[in-house]
Amino acid sequence: MRVLTPFPPDELDAPAGFELTHGDATAEWPVVAAEQAQFYVPAYRFDLRVVEVMRDMPALESVQLLTAGFEHALPYLPEGVRLANGAGIHDAATAELAVGLMIGAQRRLADLARSQPQGVWDNQMTSSLADRRVLVVGAGNIARALRRRLESHECEVTLVGRSARDGVQAFSALPDLLPNADIVVLLVPLTETTRGLVDASFLAAMPAGALLVNVARGPVVVTDALLAETRTGRLRAALDVIDPEPLPADHPLWVTPGVTITPHVGGAASSMWPRARRLVNEQLRRLAAGEPLLHQVA
């Protein structure tokens, strides 16, 4: 089997009979190898070129993304080609960034960092992360990783998923859960169901002073509705993703008090690489053994 991967071939443990070629559609692209590739791993880039090239890969049978989200790849996926997402690769990195955003917002770290160059000794009392009621909208791998970390910070954590099950509330319970949440964390995939989920009515149900943390996808939140709530100071927000991305430099959210923005870096940490290589190696083993791919989404 011919494999096109952003990893140098010697970093992977390919089964016998597998031919690996390095390729990155944003940099070094081996055209002949791409035309012959049956298994493709797009490079981890926020650049549609890495998935657009799938339309010009006639031998393609399977694609392994290095991202948990996969909606960006679907428009370019040839008919009949299997698609697997990078479930598990970003659990640790995204969960720890979510915790960091929460601590930063609760303890006013951005304000204190701005005070430092001015020599201002701003030692007012802040709200802790401990004892907060955290509502996590999403119940997948990253949400469970986040729950483990938050429980160690002595938070009361509730997960919400599409359906109720052990340890998870259903989406239908959100109207009852939101008014009691100190912090709401978004960790859902972007689908037609979740697009615009956090609208004016969702935000209005959150109590005054609550914090919204988005480490999911930007369009899950209606940006104008969030701006309306944060401009008044009724709600706070910590956003690793936002609609649109990148956020224009003159957008008012950049300077809205109580809003922290990071540039979609939730999964972009060193912990992703060994997890990514392990997943690709496992998928290659499965292909060699004739077993189904893990985390197949299309």
Is 245 assigned a catalytic role? yes
3-state secondary structure the chain: CEEEECCCHHHCCCCCCCEEEECCCCCCCCHHHHHHCCEECCCCCCCCHHHHHHHHCCCCCEEECCCCCCCCCHHHCCCCCEEECCCCCCHHHHHHHHHHHHHHHHCCHHHHHHHHHHCCCCCCCCCCCCCCEEEEEECCHHHHHHHHHHHHCCCEEEEEECCCECCEEEHHHHHHHHHHCCEEEECCCCCCCCCCCECHHHHHHCCCCCEEEECCCHHHECHHHHHHHHHCCCCEEEECCCCCCCCCCCCHHHHCCCEEECCCCCCCCCCHHHHHHHHHHHHHHHHHHCCCCCCECC
Task: Return the number of other C-beta atoms located less than 10 Å from residue 131's C-beta.
Answer: 11
Phi, psi of 184 (to 5 degrees): -115, 125
Give the separation between CA 292 and CA 287, rounded to whole angstroms. Answer: 7
Rounded CA gap, 36 and 185, in Å?
Answer: 43
Determine which one of 2, 90, 132, 217 is catalytic. Answer: 217
Q: Is the distance from CB of 281 to CB of 274 less than 8 angstroms?
A: no
One of 28, 151, 154, 245 is an active-site residue; which one?
245
Closest CA to 46 of 73, 23, 20, 64: 73
Residues assigned a catalytic role: 217, 245, 264
